Amino acid sequence: MNMLELETLRIEVGDDTAVATLCHPERLNAVAGGLLADLVSLAEWLRERDDLHFLILDHDGPVFSAGAHLGEIREFLSDRASTGAKVRANQRLAQDMMAKMSSIDQISFAALRGSAYGAGMAIAMTCDFRVMAEDAVVRLPETNLGMFLAYGSTPRLVKAIGLSRAKEMILFAADWSAERCLAAGAVERIAPKEEVRPTIEVMIATLRQRDWPALRVAKQIANAAAAVQFGDMIMSEPELVAAPFTRDTVRERLDAFLNRRGQLE
């Protein structure tokens, strides 16, 4: 069967396991439209791969993902007349990615050998299980930039860790240690950085002892039982996300952040 070739993900296939590696460490695996589209393609490809039972989502470089590609966001802001349309289209693509990656038949694992921020954590949340390095952190920085956690991720986070903890993670936009993420239920295992992948391999080896058709069906039943119910939010979220971009706050905060990082002249 044809291998999948993507620009932002390196795909490797073993006997029953696919490894998809975020492969742009030079930009800290930032989440732009290209990565979102590639993840949609990955999910659609996996749908046709009955021979693959497991997926590991890994990363090159020290960071799982630095979050949304701020250069792309700044490009959205460059033409006020088209800002809203571009933001809405990006959000719809992100929602499609979240839905498709969450519903693949394969049992999926995020290997957080490095820290995950914002949209990067949203991608990790599409996996069934997250294994996090002991020295990594998670942060949802959107409110610092005049934005909010989107991609349809907020209901998923609330479902995973509870309303109060989700509010704290989102509103305070602070680093959460691996220990705190484990205690809250944001990740399922923590391990030394070099043991993250071996920990996942042990989990997969345990699952291989089970009947695969039973695992596949059990995952889908569990997903259905835990389905996030949030009314028309998926429909309205692109509009809600676009609204802050029409104000100067996002532009000003984004420019200030990029100036501090020396990425804006």
Nearest-CA neighbor of 148 among 15, 253, 14?
Answer: 253
Mean pLDDT over 64-81 rounds to 84
Token digits of residue 132: 């996090």
pLDDT for res 265 = 37
Nearest-CA neighbor of 14 among 49, 65, 59?
Answer: 49
CA 207 to chain centre: 23
pLDDT for res 7 = 96
| Cβ neighbours, 10 Å, residue 207 | 13
pLDDT for res 75 = 83
d(CA 73, CA 251): 9
Residue 100 has pLDDT above 50, yes or no: yes
Whole-structure pTM value: 0.88
- Provide the percentage of residues in the chain whose pLDDT is more than 70: 87
CATH of domain 9-260: 3.90.226.10
- DSSP H helices, 125-232, are 153-161, 163-172, 178-184, 196-208, 212-225
Residue 234 has pLDDT above 60, yes or no: no
Residue 264 has pLDDT above 50, yes or no: no
Nearest-CA neighbor of 254 among 147, 108, 129?
Answer: 147
pLDDT for res 230 = 52
Residue 5 has pLDDT above 70, yes or no: yes
Nearest-CA neighbor of 121 among 144, 94, 88?
Answer: 94
CB-CB contact of 73 with 37 (8 Å):
no
Going 157 to 159 to 162 to 164, the CA torsion angle's sign is: positive
Mean pLDDT over 99-121 rounds to 97
pLDDT tier for residue 116 given thresholds of 50, 70 and 90: very high
Q: Where are the domains of the chain?
A: 9-260
d(CA 49, CA 137): 33
